[in-house]
Amino acid sequence: MYRYDEFDAAFVRERTAQFRDQVNRRLSGEINEDQFRPLRLMNGLYLQLHAYMFRIAIPYGTLRSKQLRKLAYLARTYDRGYGHFTTRTNIQFNWPKLRDIPDMMEHLNEVEMHAIQTSGNCIRNISTDQFAGAAADEIIDPRPVAEILRQWSSLHPEFSYLPRKFKIAMIGAPSDRAAIKFHDIGLKAVTNDAGEIGWEVWVGGGLGRTPMIAKLIRGYVAHTDLLAYCEAIVRVYNRYGRRDNKFKARIKILVHEAGIDKIREEVEAEFAQTKGGVLTLPQAELDRITTYFAAPDFERVNATQIDVLREKELDPAYGDWLERNLHSHRQPGYVSVTISLKPVGGAPGDATDEQMEAIANLAENYSFDELRVTHEQNLVLPHVRVSDLREVYDTLVENGLATGNAGLITDMIACPGLDFCSLANARSIPLAQEISRKFQDPQRQRDIGDLKIKISGCINACGHHHVGHIGILGVEKKGTELYQISVGGDGTEKAAIGDILGHGFVADDVPDAIERLVETYIARRESADEPFIAAYRRLGDAPFKEALYGAQ
């Protein structure tokens, strides 16, 4: 994992001092809220319905145990004993006081963390594959390049006031676990004809009011040129992105309106000027940063088969957990473990300070001190010895973290919704709780298989509803919350935006409606091996429409 050097440490300290000064100026009345708002937002501080919300960056979703312990400390000391992990792999606290924020930042600085650019119209936290550096299918670990991009984008003087926020995601494997096609820039590691690894660049994806799948803008960019190429894209966006309408200001609209060919032409012209210049990334620097992410000292153990069926016989809950929450590792004898933050009846993505402490201990003892945050609001122990699984599991059980539902219907994404968020039109969390209670039977969840439900409380789509196999969007209509259901979305390499099948439902009717969709799928699937999304693609929307609204 990356470690701050003196420069990085001084940088975040200066930023904290600057924010402390800004807070003091606000408290003394020297600046008003209109002037303060953009400053606090650029430091991750929102004002929500009930209180301030403080969002802390977790760069490319990577944490050390010491850092998670610090987050637990902040939850305990300045908040109400919990934190909420987000779809941008960040964490947010819902109850801090304004005057405490600079102190919280200082605590973060102590463990090489910050809240820079977790909001505002700038380049946001870069997200990537939660199994980076561990996954068996990976061709390159994207984190060194992600770290370099983090540095390049931190307080970038030209790109701090873009038309709108700007999000970059990266994936180093053919399986897209980072939803790169729904980002402003998506980077996918590829190999060129000469056998060198570089980046395929996608641009103009996004969710929100106008969901768009990214377009391929360049098939290959070498590591050396990546910063120059990204700068070219962001510069073209800064100059030509719309600023007349907040809802049309993302780069996806620019790409859509101008056309990818025109944008490519502009970016290439800009790239021709910047290529080979000061942003050229020398191999030596990439190598230097890469050493921070070197594989840990894995023990040389033989590949260990896990007999899930046998374990299921002995301890069904453990067996189920083994079946769902492990991901294959490149190192024989190791696996990556998903820690589900989606217990039945819980708030997706929430973890208490005690849970965070427990997970930090697990990371320290069983995963080379490393942790990941997933964009699906779970945590991951990336490098766990197969022989340690039982001990890890038992600790998770003790802390209420052993839900074996990764990728199942109860492993939902939900935004904070109208319970917390000042932008929301409808609540998300109570709906997620109801749906998880409806499908709480583990056996039933397994029968249903892979199924991603994603819930947003407003059109801004923080809950990624457009790419849920089943997506739920909360709207407000005549003083009541209504929920639109869409089907067929997919955030992976087979990117698709879900189809809205008809009118919305009141909250009480949503779990039943979901159940009807699920029953239709089970009745019509070719076999238990055909997942929901595949069946939907094969069958089309008609049977699902009928399930929701009856025969037409």
Partner 1 sequence: MVPNSLGFAPPKPDKLRSLGIMALNGMFDEMDGVSVLRQAVTDILPDDIAIVSSFGADSSVLLHMLAQVDPTLPVYFLETGKHFPETLDYVRTLEARLGLTNVRWLRPDPKDLARFDPDGDLWETDPDSCCHIRKTEPLDGEIAQFGGWVTGRKRYQTAERGVLPHFELTGDDRIKVNPLAYFTDADVNAYKIAHGLPEHPLFAKGYKSIGCAPCTTIVAEGEDPRAGRWRGLNKKECGIHFDFNGAIAKPVAAMEKTLFKDGAFIADPFRGWAEGDDPATVRYTHIPLKMFLDNRAAVLANPHPNGLLVSPGDKVEDVAADLGRFASVAIAFPAFGDGRGYTSARLLAERYAYQGEMRAVGDVLMDQLTLMRRCGISAFVVTHPATRKALETGHLTTVNLFYQPIGTTEVPVGTRPFLRRAAERETEPA
Partner 2 sequence: MEILTGNELMSGATVYLDRDGHWVEGLQQARVFLKEEAEARDAAIAATKKTMRINSLEIETVTLRDGVIHPDRIRERIRAEGPTAPRFDRQHLDKDGHVSI
Site residues (CB under 8 A) for partner 1, limited to 125-154: 148, 151-152, 154
- The CA radius of gyration of the chain, in Å to the nearest whole number, is 23
At position 42, the amino acid (one-letter code) is M
Residue 290 binding partner 1, by CB under 8 A: no
Task: Quote the CA–CA distance of 434 and 429 in Å, as a whole number.
Answer: 9
Is residue 258 at the binding interface for partner 1, with CB under 8 A as the rule? no
What sections of 196-331 are H helices per DSSP?
A: 223-240, 251-258, 260-274, 283-292, 308-314, 316-325
Under the binding rule (CB under 8 A), the answer on residue 195 touching partner 2 is: no
Is residue 535 a contact partner of residue 526, using CB atoms and an 8 Å limit? Answer: yes
Contact string 270-309 vs partner 2 (x = CB under 8 A)? ----------------------------------------
Binding test (CB under 8 A) with partner 1, winner from 1, 22, 115, 336: 22
Instruction: Return the one option of partner 1, partner 2, none that residue 80 interacts with (CB less than 5 to 8 A, by type).
Output: partner 2
Sign of CA dihedral 547, 550, 551, 552: negative
Q: Residue 268, interface with partner 1 (CB under 8 A)?
A: no
Is residue 38 involved in binding partner 1 (CB under 8 A)? Answer: yes
Which of 145, 212, 217, 289: binder of partner 1 (CB under 8 A)? 289
Comparing CB distances to partner 2, the nearer of 231 and 481 is 481
Find the binder of partner 2 among 200, 231, 481, 490 (CB under 8 A): 481
- Residue 156 in contact with partner 1, rule: CB under 8 A: yes
CA dihedral sign of residues 362, 367, 373, 377: negative
- 438 φ, ψ to 5°? -60, -40
Would you count residue 459 as binding partner 2 (CB under 8 A)?
no
**How does DSSP classify residue 344?**
T
Q: 3-class SS at 34?
A: helix
Q: What does the block give as tokens for 359?
A: 């997970």
Minimal CA–CA distance to 94: which of 157, 39, 50? Answer: 50
List binders of partner 2 among 9-28 (CB under 8 A).
26-27
Residue 164 CA to residue 35 CA, distance in Å, equals: 18
**Interface segment toward partner 2; rule CB under 8 A; list 96-104, 119-127, 283-291, 302-310:** 96-104
Q: Are 218 and 204 in contact (CB under 8 A)?
A: no
Residue 10 interacts with, from partner 2, partner 1, none (CB under 5-8 Å by kind): partner 1
239 binds, options partner 1, partner 2, none, Cβ within 5 to 8 A by partner type: partner 1
The single residue listed with the structure tokens 């929701």 is: 548
Cα gap 377→357, rounded to integer Å? 17
309 binds, among partner 1, partner 2, none (CB under 5 to 8 A by kind): none
116 contacts 42 by C-beta, under 8 angstroms: yes
**Whole-number minimum distance, CB 266 to partner 1, in Å?**
12
Q: Which of partner 2, partner 1, none interacts with 33 (beta carbon under 5 to 8 A by kind)?
A: partner 2
User: How far are the Cα atoms of 143, 255, 406 from residue 172, in angstroms, in the given order?
Assistant: 9, 25, 21
Q: Which of 100, 110, 285, 476 binds partner 1 (CB under 8 A)?
A: 285
84/248 with CB nearer partner 1: 248
Tokens coding 210: 């106008």
Q: Which of 247, 269, 422, 441 binds partner 2 (CB under 8 A)?
A: 422
- Exposure letters 32-52 (e unless 16+ CB within 10 A, then b): eeeebbebbbbbbbbebeebb
Beta carbons of 308 and 319 less than 8 angstroms apart: yes
What is the nearest approach in angstroms of partner 2 to the Cβ of residue 465?
A: 18
Rounded CA-CA distance 6/21 in Å is 22
The binding track of 217-246 with respect to partner 1, each residue x by CB under 8 A or -, is ------------------x--xx---x---
Q: According to the binding rule CB under 8 A, does residue 413 interact with partner 2? A: no
Q: Which helix (H) or strand (E) holds 25?
A: helix 6-27
Q: Which residues pair with 384 in a beta bridge?
A: 335
Closest-CA residue to 328 (of 110, 209, 177, 498)? 177
Regarding 51 and contact with partner 2 (CB under 8 A), the answer is yes
Is residue 49 near partner 2 by the rule CB under 8 A?
A: yes
Q: Considering only residues 158, 196, 398, 447, which one is a binding residue for partner 1 as defined by CB under 8 A?
A: 158
Does 97 contact partner 2 by CB under 8 A?
yes
| 485 touches partner 1 (CB under 8 A) | no
- Three-class SS state of 196: coil
Region of 17-25, 179-187, 438-446, 507-515 interacting with partner 1 (CB under 8 A): 17-25
Enumerate the β-bridge partners of residue 386.
none
- Where on the chain is the footprint of partner 1 (CB under 8 A)? 5, 7, 10-11, 14-15, 17-18, 20-22, 25, 30-31, 35, 38-39, 121, 148, 151-152, 154-162, 235, 238-239, 243, 273, 278-279, 281-282, 284-286, 288-289
Binding site for partner 2 (CB under 8 A): 26-27, 29, 32-33, 47-52, 80, 94-95, 97-99, 346-347, 350, 418-420, 422, 424, 426-427, 429-430, 433, 476, 479-481
